[in-house]
Structure 1
Amino acid sequence: MVQKTSYDPGTPSWVDLGSPDPDAAADFYSDLFGWEIGEAGPPESGGYRLCMLRGIPVAGLGIQEQPDIAPYWTTYVSVADVDSTVKEVRGAGGQVMVEVMDVMDAGRMAVLADPSGAVFCAWQPLTHIGAGLVDEPGTLSWNELLTRDLDGSKAFYGTIFGWTANTMQLGEMAYTEWKLGGASMGGMMEMDATFPAEVPPHWMVYFAVADTDATVEKVVALGGHVHQPPMDIPQGRFALVADPQGALFSVIALAHAAG
């Protein structure tokens, strides 16, 4: 178990789902990961729900704000000053999709996009730091950018978050690990010709599981879909799946599970 009480600025700290059917999504993820998901929050929260594991927040769930695109999981990066981050994003060629706003007493946020169009959020924490548990079954374990512009992404995220890019060869595939002060922040892969042209650059969310194959079977049994069957990589055994509404996410049984 890895329990978190804070996140350094520049660290992915939270993920949430925008779904066209939050009630169905709540049923699916609570069955799949054992999350406790309550009723929709008050009107001022937009009906947002916290997904809990043993009473600790691990993810969020809300109504999909853009009905013309596929449902999506969003990555949030913790920042010290979201207003400054927004200015830096504009200066580095990114886009501000939703201006800075207060989320009650939980924190301040903005919805942003890098120059290639990959959407992410900047989160300035107040009472809500982000995920209280990571790297154990049913919790966030990795955030990965899929892009068609590796060099541009390296420059952008280096400017915004101070990340350095460590590119390595994994078999026939080049993979980039994002680092901040020597700590791993996430990864990046190039979207090659195997990706349909209509799939935009995006941030992928990985959840840790105890058994990838069993989890994939359960995804299907609950009405979800498999996009990449289980396969072994140096970090563990992973699969790419989607919930019944079409939101993509990855699951991984980590080779070296956190204690």
Structure 2
Amino acid sequence: MGKVIGFELNSQEPEKAAKFYSTVFGWEIAEPHWDYREISTGKDTQDGMNGGIAKGPHDYPHGTRIQIEVDSINTAISNAKNNGAIIVRDKMEFDHFYLAYLVDPTGLGFALIQKK
């Protein structure tokens, strides 16, 4: 099976994207190397994945929506909005989790998930 072990966010404003994710989620983002910034999303002892932010090429200028698990979806939505995000779909309830879709200040889509 193909297990997802990372991600890449493509943006035409990678500096702005890096500042947003660092501020909202506390991600550690390295200095750019060839327009790519490595991201550490947590301690290596935690479950999760790491990835990077890159300046998207002309034929794929913006990245793929990712799902970010949070302890409190209400707090995360509020914090994201306060840092320039736009809500695409507000908090929705499902059997085992809550889900919301947002777009960050650079146009990248992402999802927030809170387990019940």
Q: Smaller-chain TM-score range?
A: 0.7 to 0.9
Task: Give distance in 1, aligned partners of 2:12 and 2:52.
Answer: 14
Counting matched residue pairs gives: 112
Higher RCO (CA < 8 A, seq sep 6+)? 2
CA-based RMSD of the aligned residues comes to 1.8
Larger Rg: 1
The match for 1:247 among 92, 108, 116 is 108
List structure 1 segments (4+ residues) > 2 angstroms apart after TM superposition: 53-57
* SS across alignment from 1:72: coil
Report percent identity of matched pairs: 24
- Could you tell me how far 1:247 is from its partner in structure 2? 0.8
Q: Deviations over 1:125-178 (max 9, x none)?
A: xxxxxxxxxxxxxxxxxxxxxxxxxxxxxxxxxxxxxxxxxxxxxxxxxxxxxx
Alpha carbons 1:212, 1:230 under 8 Å: kept: yes
Q: Is the 8 A contact 2:10 2:61 kept in 1?
A: no
Alignment map for 1:1-259 (pairs within 5 Å): 9-41=1-33, 46-54=34-42, 56=44, 58-66=50-58, 71-73=62-64, 204-255=65-116
Shift of 1:55: 5.2
Q: Which runs of 5+ in 2 are unaligned?
A: none
Would you tell me which structure has more strand in proportion to its own residues? 1
Give, in angstroms, the shift of residue 59 of structure 1.
2.2
Alpha-carbon offset, residue 17 of structure 1: 0.2
**Which whole-Å CA distance do the structure 1 matches of 2:3 and 2:43 have between them?**
23
What is the TM-score of this pair, normalised by structure 2?
0.86
Deviations 1:4-28 (A, max 9, x none): xxxxx42222211001111110100
Unaligned runs of 5+ in 1: 1-8, 74-203
Letter in 1 for 2:7: V
